[in-house]
DNA sequence: CAGTGAGCGAGCTTCCGCTTGACTT
C-alpha cells in the first residue's frame, strides 16, 4: 500500500521532489502528455461536435500501465503537472486514463522546486480546472484541423508529403518574406568621412582624436569637393557635451533568450543549446530549460545576492524582479538559472561548462546594480562649412553588472568601440592629420539565423519553448528552408585620403555578402508560402495565433464553450478547403525567363517531380536541366538557366579516355572512365574548368583512394579510411572499430571478432526498433539521409 | 549517385506541445 502518489511531468523533477517529500510519498513522472488525438486519420468527430478521439501514445503504454498500478494502491493521488494549459490537460488525461476517483485525487501546482513551495502546494490542493483543459483541447483540435486539412491540399496542388501548420507555415513565411525584401533591396552608395586630429594630453604627448562627419556624401564629386575645402579650412572644437547615463542588466534567461545568446556568444544551434541544457538540467545544475518566464524564486534572488555581496561587495548587489512581457507567456516555471548559485563552474564537457557559465553570469548580472556611464560628444566645426565632425566616447564610471555579463545583439558593429576621448575644451583649435573618405553601401536587412527566427516567432507569439527547436528542424527537413553559409564576393572600393595638401584615391578590397549559418528559403518553400498566402490568408496572417490565443483565454475563463469556438473557425475554414481543392490550379511556381537565342524556344523554370528545373521548348524538342544549389527559380536569369544546358561538357582526353564535366544531383562533377570526381567547391567553376585542372582532381581522388585501404584480408574483409576515421567493411556492411584498437595493427582474428560482436549488437538494435512504433517520418528521413551520406563518403 | 521531368493508380504523407531516450556517425 502506498500512502501518496505524486505525478509530475519530468523524471528529473520527480527525483528532486521525492527528496523533499520523504518516504510517505512516491513521486513518478508521466513524461509529458500520455494521450493524444489518434495518429491516423483526423482523430476528431466533426459530426458530433468535434468530439476528440484520444489514444494512449504508443511510447507511453508502459508508463501508463505502471502509473495505473501505483494509482490503484495509493490512498491519495496528487496530480502535480505544470500550471499551464498543457499541464492542466495532462492532469485531466491522467485522471481519465488512470481511472482516478475524485475523492482521493488532488491537483497541486508549484512554480519553483523548493521544499517550501512544494509543501505549500500540498497544503493548498484544488480540483482540475476543466475550463483550462478545454482551452487546451481547443488548441489541440485547432492545430490538428489546420494541419490535417491543409496539408492534403498541398499534396494535390503542389507536391506529395508536404506539410502545413499554424506554426511552421508562418515560420517559413518569415524567411520567404525576408528573402524577397533582400532581393528587392536597392543598395545605395555613399561616402563616409572620418577625420583624425592631433591633440595633446597633459604631458604634451600627442593623442589622435577620431571623428566622423555628420554628413554622408552620395557622390565622389561631392566628397572630393569637401576634401578640397578641407585643404584650407581650420578646425575647432565647437562643443563638448558630457551626459551621464546608466544601463540596466537584461532579465535572466528564458528558452528563447538562452538560444539567442548561446548562438551569438557560443555559436550553438538552437537544438544544440537545448541538448546541452537538458544535460545540465538532468545533472541538477540548472532549473528547467523550457520556460517563458523571467521570474526568479525568492530563494534564488537571495542566493544571488549572497554570492554578489561576498565576491564583489554590497555595492554591486541590487535584487530585482522582472516582469514577463512576452505575448501568451504561460509562466509555469522559473527563469533558467543555476540551482546552486555559488557553484562557479561544473564538471562536464566544454559545451556544458560554457553554457552553464553563461547561465550563471546572466542570472547574477540580473541581480546586480546598473552600470553608470558617461557619454561625451565632441563637435568639431569646419570654417566655411555647415557640416561638423563628431566624436563620441563612453566612459564607464561604475561597471555594475557589466563586471560579469554583457548582452550581445545581432547587429553589432565591429568598430563600435566606445573610445576614451582626450580632454579637450570648447574653442580649442585642432590640426588635422588625415581626412579619409571611404566608399560604402547600405546593407539589406539581415537574413535570419535560427536564433533570430526564434526571437521573431516568440515576439509574434508563435510556438512554445518546447517547440522552437523542433519546428526549425522540421521546416529544414521538409526542404522549405535551408541553413547555409555563403562566401561573399570581393569588391573594389574607393578610399580617398587627404593628407597635407594631397588628395589621393586608392582602391581597397572588401568582402560583401558573406553569410554564416543563415536561413534561406528553397523554391518549394516559396511556392508553398505563396500558395498558402493566396488561399489560406487568415492562417498565414501573423496575428492568427495571437487571435486564437485570445479566444482560448475566453474558454479558459469559462466564458465560451470550446466547441463553439472551434465551430466558428471550422465552418468557413472547411468550406475554403473544399473550394481550394476544386478551384485552384496546380502550382509549380512556373516562370518564363525568355527565349533561347539559338532556337527561339521558350525557356522556363518550375518545380518538377525531382525539384526545381529549367526547361527549353516543348513537345519533341523539349530539354530539361535541374537547377544548381543556391539558385532560386525566382531570381535565376535567362543566361544562368541557359548555362545549365551546356552540360555534360567534353573537356578532352586523358589516358585515352574522354573527360567530361557534368552537373548531377549532388552538384558538378568530372567523369572519367567510370570515375566520378566532385569539383572543389568555391574553387572550380564547371563552366570554365580546364582539362588540366580536371586531371589534377582525378589524380587527387586516385591518391585518396590509394590511401583508403589500410588492410585487406583473404576473405575480402577490408579495413578502410573513411570520413569518420578507420572502419571495417565486409559484405557491404560497415563495422566500427572499438576504441583503443589501432586499425593498421588489427589481426585477421581480431577483425573477425569485431565483426561478430558488432553484427550481434546491430541485430539487437534493429529488433528493438522494429518492436517500437514506427518512428516519425521526419526521423526516418534524416536517418535515411545520414545513411546515404555515409555511403557516399566512404 | 552523377538522370530523371508522361500518366495511371495503390498506398502513403500531414499538425502542435508535453516529455526523454536510443540512435551512431
Which residues in window 313-332 of A are less than 7 A from strand B by Cβ? Answer: 330
Which DSSP string do the residues of A511-569 spell out, in sequence order?
EES-EEEEEEE-HHHHHHHHHHHHH-HHHHSTTHHHHHHHHHHHHHTTSS-HHHHHHHH
Rounded to an integer, what distance in angstroms lies between the CA atom of residue A265 and that of residue A696?
A: 41
- Contact status, residue A43 vs residue A60, Cβ threshold 8 Å: no
Of residues A193 and A326, more confidently modeled: A193
Residue-wise pLDDT for A531-542, tens only, equals 999 999 999 999
**In this structure, is the CB of residue A786 within 7 Å of any atom belonging to strand B?**
yes
Mean pLDDT (whole number) for A673-687: 81
Helix (H, G, I), strand (E, B) or coil at A76: strand
Residue-wise pLDDT for A420-433, tens only, equals 788 889 999 999 99
- Contact status, residue A678 vs residue A792, Cβ threshold 8 Å: no
pLDDT of residue A509: 96
pLDDT of residue A679: 85
Nucleotides of strand B within 7 Å of the protein's CB atoms:
1-6, 11-25
- Whole-number distance in Å between A775 CA and B22 C1': 12
pLDDT of residue A436: 98
**In this structure, is the CB of residue A782 within 7 Å of any atom belonging to strand B?**
no
pLDDT of residue A393: 92
**In this structure, is the CB of residue A36 within 7 Å of any atom belonging to strand B?**
yes
**In this structure, is the CB of residue A143 within 7 Å of any atom belonging to strand B?**
yes
- Whole-number distance in Å between A459 CA and B13 C1': 31
Mean pLDDT (whole number) for A610-629: 90
Domains of chain A: 2-128 (3.40.50.140), 189-248+372-442+481-516 (2.70.20.10), 255-369 (1.10.290.10), 591-645 (no CATH), 649-709 (no CATH), 713-753 (no CATH)
Q: Which residue, among A257, A134, A76, A204, has the nearest Cα to A552 in the 3D structure?
A: A134
Nucleotide nearest to A160 (CA to C1'): B13
CA–CA distance from A341 to each of A145, A432, A480, A669 (Å)? 45, 53, 42, 56
- Whole-number distance in Å between A411 CA and B21 C1': 38
Residue-wise pLDDT for A603-615, tens only, equals 999 999 888 999 9
Task: Say yes or no to pLDDT of A597 above 50.
Answer: yes
**Mean pLDDT of chain A, nearest integer:** 90
pLDDT of residue A153: 97
- Whole-number distance in Å between A717 CA and B3 C1': 33
Q: Is A288 labeled as catalytic in the residue annotation?
A: yes
- Whole-number distance in Å between A753 CA and B17 C1': 46
User: How wide is the angle at C-alpha A61 spanned by C-alphas A55 and A64, nearest 5°?
Assistant: 95
Rounded to an integer, what distance in angstroms lies between the CA atom of residue A199 and that of residue A219?
A: 31
- Contacts of A506 by beta carbon, 8 Å cutoff, 6+ apart: A494, A495, A496, A497
- Whole-number distance in Å between A136 CA and B19 C1': 17
Rounded to an integer, what distance in angstroms lies between the CA atom of residue A668 and that of residue A484?
A: 18
CA–CA distance from A259 to each of A170, A348, A362 (Å)? 20, 20, 13
pLDDT of residue A57: 95
pLDDT of residue A409: 81
- Contact status, residue A166 vs residue A147, Cβ threshold 8 Å: yes
Closest CA-bearing residue to C1' of B4: A610
Selecting among A190, A288, A316, A448, the annotated active-site residue is A288
**In this structure, is the CB of residue A11 within 7 Å of any atom belonging to strand B?**
yes
Of residues A469 and A725, more confidently modeled: A469
Of residues A221 and A681, more confidently modeled: A221
**In this structure, is the CB of residue A464 within 7 Å of any atom belonging to strand B?**
yes
Mean pLDDT (whole number) for A96-109: 97
Of residues A755 and A4, more confidently modeled: A4
- Strand runs (DSSP E) across A675-732, as ranges? 675-678, 709-712, 718-722, 725-730
pLDDT of residue A723: 65
Amino acid at each position: 500500500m502506498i500512502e501518496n502518489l505524486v505525478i509530475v511531468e519530468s523524471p528529473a523533477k520527480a527525483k528532486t521532489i521525492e527528496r523533499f517529500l520523504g518516504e510517505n510519498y512516491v513521486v513518478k513522472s508521466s513524461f509529458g502528455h500520455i494521450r493524444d488525438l489518434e495518429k491516423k486519420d483526423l482523430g476528431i468527430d466533426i459530426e458530433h461536435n468535434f468530439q476528440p478521439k484520444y489514444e494512449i501514445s504508443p511510447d507511453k503504454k508502459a508508463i501508463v500501465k505502471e502509473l495505473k498500478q501505483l494509482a490503484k494502491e495509493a490512498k491519495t493521488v496528487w496530480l502535480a503537472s505544470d500550471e499551464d494549459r498543457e499541464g492542466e490537460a495532462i492532469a485531466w488525461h491522467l485522471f481519465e486514463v488512470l481511472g482516478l476517483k475524485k475523492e482521493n485525487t488532488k491537483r497541486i501546482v508549484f512554480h519553483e522546486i523548493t521544499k517550501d513551495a512544494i509543501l505549500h502546494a500540498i497544503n493548498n490542493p484544488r480540483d482540475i480546472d476543466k475550463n483550462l483543459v478545454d482551452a487546451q483541447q481547443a488548441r489541440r483540435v485547432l492545430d490538428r484541423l489546420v494541419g490535417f486539412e491543409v496539408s492534403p491540399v498541398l499534396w494535390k496542388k503542389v507536391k506529395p508529403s508536404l506539410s502545413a501548420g499554424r506554426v511552421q507555415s508562418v515560420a517559413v513565411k518569415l524567411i520567404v518574406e525576408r528573402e524577397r525584401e533582400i532581393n528587392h533591396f536597392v543598395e545605395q552608395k555613399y561616402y563616409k568621412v572620418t577625420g583624425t586630429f592631433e591633440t595633446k594630453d597633459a604631458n604634451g604627448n600627442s593623442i589622435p582624436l577620431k571623428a566622423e562627419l555628420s554628413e554622408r556624401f552620395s557622390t565622389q564629386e561631392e566628397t572630393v569637393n569637401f576634401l578640397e575645402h578641407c585643404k584650407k579650412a581650420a578646425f575647432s572644437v565647437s562643443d563638448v557635451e558630457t551626459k551621464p547615463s546608466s544601463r540596466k542588466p537584461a532579465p535572466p534567461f528564458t528558452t528563447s533568450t538562452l538560444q539567442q545568446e548561446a548562438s551569438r556568444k557560443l555559436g550553438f544551434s538552437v537544438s544544440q543549446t537545448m541538448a546541452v541544457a537538458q544535460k545540465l538540467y538532468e545533472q541538477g545544475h540548472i532549473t528547467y530549460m523550457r520556460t517563458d518566464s523571467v521570474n526568479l524564486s525568492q530563494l534564488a534572488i537571495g542566493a544571488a545576492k549572497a554570492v554578489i555581496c561576498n565576491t564583489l561587495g554590497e555595492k554591486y548587489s541590487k535584487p530585482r524582479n522582472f516582469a514577463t512581457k512576452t505575448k501568451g507567456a504561460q509562466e509555469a516555471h522559473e527563469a533558467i538559472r543555476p540551482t546552486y548559485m555559488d557553484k562557479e563552474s561544473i564538471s562536464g564537457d566544454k559545451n556544458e561548462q560554457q553554457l552553464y557559465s553563461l547561465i550563471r553570469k546572466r542570472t547574477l548580472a540580473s541581480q546586480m546594480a546598473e552600470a553608470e556611464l558617461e557619454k561625451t560628444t565632441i563637435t568639431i566645426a569646419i570654417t566655411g562649412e555647415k557640416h561638423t565632425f563628431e566624436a563620441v566616447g563612453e566612459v564607464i564610471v561604475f561597471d555594475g553588472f557589466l563586471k560579469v555579463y554583457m548582452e550581445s545583439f545581432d547587429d553589432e558593429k565591429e568598430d563600435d568601440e566606445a573610445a576614451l576621448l582626450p580632454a579637450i575644451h570648447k574653442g580649442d583649435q585642432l590640426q588635422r592629420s588625415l581626412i579619409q573618405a571611404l566608399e560604402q553601401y547600405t546593407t539589406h536587412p539581415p537574413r535570419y539565423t535560427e536564433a533570430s527566427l526564434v526571437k521573431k516567432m516568440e515576439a509574434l507569439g508563435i510556438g512554445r519553448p518546447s517547440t522552437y527547436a523542433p519546428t526549425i528542424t522540421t521546416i529544414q527537413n521538409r526542404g522549405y528552408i535551408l541553413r547555409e553559409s555563403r562566401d561573399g564576393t570581393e569588391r573594389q572600393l574607393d578610399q580617398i585620403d587627404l593628407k597635407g595638401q594631397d588628395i589621393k584615391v586608392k582602391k581597397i578590397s572588401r568582402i560583401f555578402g558573406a553569410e554564416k549559418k543563415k536561413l534561406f528559403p528553397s523554391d518549394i518553400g516559396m511556392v508553398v508560402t505563396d500558395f498558402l498566402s493566396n488561399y489560406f490568408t487568415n492562417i498565414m496572417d501573423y496575428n492568427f495565433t495571437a487571435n486564437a490565443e485570445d479566444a482560448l483565454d475566453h474558454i479558459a475563463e469559462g466564458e465560451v464553450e470550446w466547441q463553439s469556438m472551434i465551430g466558428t473557425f471550422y465552418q468557413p475554414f472547411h468550406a475554403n478547403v473544399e473550394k481550394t481543392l476544386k478551384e485552384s490550379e496546380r502550382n509549380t511556381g512556373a516562370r518564363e525567363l525568355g527565349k533561347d537565342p539559338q532556337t527561339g524556344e521558350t525557356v522556363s523554370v518550375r518545380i518538377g517531380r525531382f525539384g526545381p528545373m529549367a526547361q527549353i521548348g516543348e513537345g519533341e524538342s523539349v530539354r530539361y536541366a535541374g537547377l544548381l544549389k543556391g539558385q532560386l527559380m525566382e531570381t535565376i536569369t535567362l543566361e544562368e538557366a541557359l548555362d545549365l544546358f551546356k552540360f555534360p561538357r567534353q573537356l578532352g582526353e586523358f589516358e585515352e579516355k574522354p573527360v567530361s564535366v557534368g552537373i548531377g544531383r549532388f552538384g558538378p562533377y568530372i567523369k572519367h572512365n567510370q570515375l566520378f570526381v566532385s569539383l572543389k567547391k568555391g574553387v572550380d567553376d564547371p563552366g570554365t574548368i580546364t582539362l588540366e585542372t580536371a586531371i589534377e582532381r582525378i589524380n587527387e581522388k586516385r591518391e585518396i583512394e590509394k590511401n583508403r585501404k589500410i588492410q585487406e584480408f583473404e576473405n575480402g574483409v577490408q579495413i578502410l579510411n573513411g570520413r569518420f576515421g578507420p572502419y571495417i567493411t565486409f559484405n557491404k556492411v560497415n563495422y566500427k572499430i572499438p576504441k583503443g584498437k589501432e586499425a593498421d595493427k588489427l589481426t585477421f582474428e581480431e577483425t573477425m571478432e569485431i565483426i561478430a560482436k558488432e553484427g550481434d549488437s546491430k541485430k539487437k538494435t534493429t529488433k528493438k526498433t522494429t518492436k517500437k512504433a514506427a518512428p516519425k517520418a521526419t526521423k526516418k528521413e534524416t536517418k535515411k539521409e545520414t545513411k546515404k551520406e555515409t555511403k557516399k563518403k566512404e
